Amino acid sequence: MTGANPEQVLVIGGGLAALAAAISARRAGARVTMLEAAPRELRGGNTRHSRNLRIAHDGPTARIPGIYREEEYLADLAKASDGRNDAHLSQRFVHASTDLPDWLAAQGVVFQTRGIPYSRKTAFFLGGGTAAVNALYATAERVGVRILYDAQADGVDLETGAAGPFRPRATVLACGGAQAAMQAASPRLINRGTPYALGEILRAALAQGAQAVGDADAAHLVAVDARSPSADGGIVTRVDGMEYGMAVDARGARFTDETAVTGPTRYATWGRLIAALPEQRATLVLDADGIDRAPLSVFPPLEAPTLADLAARIGADAATLEASAREAGRVTRPPFFAFPIRPGITFTCQGLRVDETARVIRGDGSPCANIFAAGMIMAPNILGTGYVAGGGMTVGAVFGRIAGEEAACHALA
Partner 1 sequence: MRSPDAPSPERLAPLAEAGRVATICAVCNYCNGFCEAMRAIEQRGQSPRPSIADNGAGKTGVAPAFSDGDIAYIAHLCHNCGNCLTSCQYAPPHVFAVDAPKALADVRALSWRERPWLALAIFVAVMVLTVALVPWGMLTARHAGEGAFYAVIPWATMTAATLAPFLFGIALVGIRVTRFWRAISGGDDAPMAGSAWRAIPLAIRDAATLRNLEGGGIPCEQSAARRFFHHALAYGFLLCFAATCTATVYHHGFGWLAPYPLLSLPVILGTVGGVGMVIGAAGLAGVRTGGGAAFDTTGDFILLTQLFAVAASGLALLALRDTPAMGVLLAVHLGTVLGFFATLPFGRFAHAPYRAAALLKAAMERRR
Ligand X SMILES: Cc1cc2nc3c(=O)[nH]c(=O)nc-3n(C[C@H](O)[C@H](O)[C@H](O)COP(=O)(O)OP(=O)(O)OC[C@H]3O[C@@H](n4cnc5c(N)ncnc54)[C@H](O)[C@@H]3O)c2cc1C
**Which of residues 7, 8, 13, 267 is near ligand X by CB under 6 A?**
13
**Which of residues 8, 10, 15, 342 is near ligand X by CB under 6 A?**
15
**Which of residues 27, 49, 362, 410 is near ligand X by CB under 6 A?**
49
Which among partner 1, ligand X, none contacts residue 340 (Cβ within 5 to 8 A by kind)?
Answer: none
180 part of the interface to ligand X, by CB under 6 A = no
Q: Nearest-CA neighbor of 336 among 248, 399, 229, 406?
A: 248
Query: What is the rounded distance in angstroms from the CA atom of residue 232 to the CA atom of residue 235?
Result: 9
Write the CB contacts of 257 (distance below 8 Å, at least 6 apart in sequence). none
Query: What is the rounded distance in angstroms from the CA atom of residue 88 to the CA atom of residue 354?
Result: 11
Other CB atoms within 10 A of residue 87 CB: 11
Whether the upstream peptide bond of residue 335 has omega within 30° of 0, thus cis, is yes
383 part of the interface to ligand X, by CB under 6 A = no
Q: Are 296 and 340 in contact (CB under 8 A)?
A: no
Q: Let me know how long the chain is.
A: 413
Backbone angles phi, psi at 39, to 5 degrees: -70, 165
Q: Give the shortest CB-243-to-partner 1 separation in angstroms.
A: 15
Query: What is the rounded distance in angstroms from the CA atom of residue 351 to the CA atom of residue 285?
Result: 38
119 part of the interface to partner 1, by CB under 8 A = no
Q: Nearest-CA neighbor of 205 among 175, 166, 167?
A: 175
**Which of residues 89, 201, 273, 408 is near ligand X by CB under 6 A?**
201
Which among partner 1, ligand X, none contacts residue 343 (Cβ within 5 to 8 A by kind)?
Answer: none
Which among partner 1, ligand X, none contacts residue 201 (Cβ within 5 to 8 A by kind)?
Answer: ligand X
- Could you tell me the strand order of the sheet in which 359-361 lies? 146-148, 32-35, 9-12, 170-173, 367-373, 359-361
Amino acid at 144: G
351 part of the interface to ligand X, by CB under 6 A = no
Say what angle helices 16-27 and 128-143 make with each other, to 10 degrees: 20
Amino acid at 365: G
Query: What is the rounded distance in angstroms from the CA atom of residue 366 to the CA atom of residue 360?
Result: 9
Other CB atoms within 10 A of residue 351 CB: 30
Residue 119 vs 208, nearer CB to partner 1: 119
Which among partner 1, ligand X, none contacts residue 76 (Cβ within 5 to 8 A by kind)?
Answer: none
36 part of the interface to ligand X, by CB under 6 A = yes
Residue 238 vs 330, nearer CB to ligand X: 238
**Which of residues 73, 111, 196, 337 is near ligand X by CB under 6 A?**
196
The piece of 6-14, 41-49, 60-68, 73-81 that touches partner 1 (CB under 8 A) is 41-49
Q: Which positions from 131 to 170 touch ligand X by CB under 6 A, shown as an x/- string?
A: ---------------------xx-----------------
Query: What is the rounded distance in angstroms from the CA atom of residue 192 to the CA atom of residue 378?
Result: 20
Which among partner 1, ligand X, none contacts residue 152 (Cβ within 5 to 8 A by kind)?
Answer: ligand X
Which among ligand X, partner 1, none contacts residue 37 (Cβ within 5 to 8 A by kind)?
Answer: ligand X
Helix and strand numbers (H, E) in the chain are 13, 15
Which residues, 214 to 243, sit near ligand X by CB under 6 A? 234-235
Pairing of strands 336-352, 9-12: unpaired
Query: What is the rounded distance in angstroms from the CA atom of residue 241 to the CA atom of residue 233?
Result: 19
Q: Give the shortest CB-48-to-partner 1 separation in angstroms.
A: 5
**Which of residues 134, 211, 256, 280 is near partner 1 by CB under 8 A?**
134
Can you give the binding site for ligand X, defined by CB under 6 A? 12-18, 35-38, 44-47, 49-53, 152-153, 174-176, 192-194, 196-198, 200-201, 234-235, 346-347, 375-376, 390-393, 396
Residues engaged in binding partner 1 (CB under 8 A): 41-42, 48-49, 51, 110, 112, 114-116, 126-131, 134-135, 229, 232, 234-236, 288, 291-293, 295-298, 300-301, 303, 305, 335, 337
